[in-house]
């Protein structure tokens, strides 16, 4: 072991000069490490908070690390709905079902909207794209009443369509997809047409596979919006069996006689809500970086 360590040390000293860090680069790397540790603090906090028993949740001054880890909060969360008419598993099922379908619909609609705007240059395509970008200026509260009227007139209250329809239009998704498709060479699409490929075949077998980084980014955005959404449950769902897990969490500590009751269950529910977002992002983070860099075809 000592000989291997000595050999590695000699190799490190003999490394090319262009691999050696300058003093400025060393300082920058040190500062970046500190910044990374600081940015990890919320993750550490949410995991530790979910495992804290009640006597540690309200200790003063508050502590970051849990001293006596316990699954008491998760047991309390499960017990709250165990004997109720609507179990917690129903809320989780609704959230997962709605989130998965929302991701599929949002990515499909965004891609089908961006492709003709980018590659077919129909009359008024710039006006259409400008109108889509203009919707980014509207706050969600300004469209709440029109959205409610549309859902009510369509008769999709208390249905999964009532969850899905308000989430389908994502202007950011159309923008990201268009910017990515713009970099596809027209010669590639023209050669496919000369080989007899139809428009839908080109879109499905050429455009979508090449634009997978953008698809992954839009999927993350759509999943986060759908997974944490409470608006559709509170506005469009009167049937309790159709409501989602985020809405259930919002009711855990509401109308309580004090600020202590169910706080442990709320911390456990917050961790459950956070984990899917973390897992999805870790799986597709490389795709997100590729999309933001507008990599296109190399």
pLDDT digits (tens, 9 = 90+) for 154-180: 988 999 999 999 888 888 889 888 888
Cis, peptide link before residue 61, omega less than 30° from 0: yes
Q: What is the pLDDT of residues 68-79, one digit of tens each?
A: 888 888 888 888
Positions of CATH 1.10.3720.10 in the chain? 84-292
Q: Are 66 and 77 in contact (CB under 8 A)?
A: no
User: What is the predicted pLDDT for the residue at 94?
Assistant: 93
Average pLDDT value for the chain:
81
Spatial distance between the Cα atoms of 48 and 130, rounded to a whole number of angstroms: 46
Instruction: Check if the beta carbon of residue 77 is closer than 8 Å to that of residue 137.
Output: no
- Does pLDDT of 44 surpass 60? yes
**Rounded distance, CA 225 to CA 170, Å?**
10
Torsion, Cα 148 151 156 160, to 10 degrees, reads -80
Mean pLDDT (whole number) for 118-126: 85
Whether pLDDT at 101 is above 90: yes
pLDDT confidence tier of residue 100, bands split at 50, 70 and 90: very high
In which band, very low, low, confident or very high, does the pLDDT at 102 lie, cut at 50, 70 and 90?
very high
Check: CB of residue 290 under 8 Å from CB of residue 213. yes
What per-residue string of b and e applies to 91-125 under the rule 16 or more CB within 10 Å gives b?
beebbeebbebbbebbbebbbebbbbbbbeeeeee
Q: What is the 3-state secondary structure (H, E, C) of the chain?
A: CHHHHHHHHHHHHCCCHHHCCCHHHHHHHHHHHHHHHHHHHHHHHHHHHHCCCHHHHCCCCCCCCCCCCCCHHHHHHHHHHHCCCCCHHHHHHHHHHHHHHHHHHHHHHHHHHHHHHHHCCCCCHHHHHHHHHHHHHCCHHHHHHHHHHHHHHHCCCCCHHHHHHHHHCCHHHHHHHHHHHCCCCHHHHHHHHHCCCCHHHHHHHHHHHHCHHHHHHHHHHHHHHHHCCCHHHHHHCCCHHHCCHHHHHHCCCCCCCCCCCCHHHHHHHHHHHHHHHHHHHHHHHHHHHHHHCCCCCC
Rounded Cα distance between 113 and 255, Å, is 44
**What is the tens place of the pLDDT at every residue in 210-267?**
888 888 888 888 998 899 888 888 889 988 889 998 888 887 766 554 556 677 788 8
* CA distance linking residue 188 with residue 220, whole number of Å: 28
Q: Which pTM does this prediction carry? A: 0.79
- When comparing pLDDT for 24 and 286, which is higher? 24
Could you tell me which residues come within 8 angstroms of residue 226 by beta carbon, excluding any fewer than 6 positions away?
A: 98, 99, 102, 103, 163, 167
| CATH no. of 84-292 | 1.10.3720.10
């Amino acid at each position: 072991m000592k000989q291997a360590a000595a050999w590695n040390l000699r190799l490190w000293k003999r490394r090319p000069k262009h691999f050696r860090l300058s003093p400025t680069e060393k300082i920058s790397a040190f500062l970046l490490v500190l910044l990374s540790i600081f940015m990890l603090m919320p993750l550490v906090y949410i995991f530790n908070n979910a495992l804290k028993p009640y006597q540690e949740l309200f200790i003063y001054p508050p502590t970051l690390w849990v001293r006596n880890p316990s699954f008491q909060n998760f047991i309390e969360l499960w017990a709250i709905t165990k004997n109720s008419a609507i179990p917690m598993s129903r809320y989780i099922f609704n959230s997962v079902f709605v989130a998965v379908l929302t991701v599929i619909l949002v990515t499909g609609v965004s891609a089908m909207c961006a492709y003709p705007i980018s590659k077919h240059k129909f009359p008024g395509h710039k006006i259409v794209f400008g109108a889509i970008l203009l919707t980014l200026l509207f706050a969600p509260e300004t469209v709440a009443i029109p959205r409610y009227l549309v859902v009510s007139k369509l008769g999709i209250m208390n249905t999964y369509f009532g969850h899905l329809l308000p989430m389908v239009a994502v202007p950011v998704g159309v923008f990201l997809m268009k910017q990515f498709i713009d970099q596809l060479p027209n010669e590639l699409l023209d050669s496919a047409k000369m080989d007899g490929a139809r428009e839908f075949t080109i879109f499905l077998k050429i455009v979508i596979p090449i634009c997978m980084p953008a698809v992954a980014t839009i999927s993350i955005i759509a999943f986060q919006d759908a997974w944490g959404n409470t608006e559709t449950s509170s506005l469009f769902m009167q049937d309790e069996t159709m409501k989602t897990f985020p809405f259930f969490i919002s009711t855990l500590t509401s109308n309580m006689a004090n600020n202590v009751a169910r706080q442990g269950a709320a911390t456990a529910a917050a961790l459950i809500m956070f984990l899917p977002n973390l897992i999805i992002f870790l799986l597709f983070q490389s795709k997100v970086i590729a999309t933001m860099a507008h990599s296109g075809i190399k």
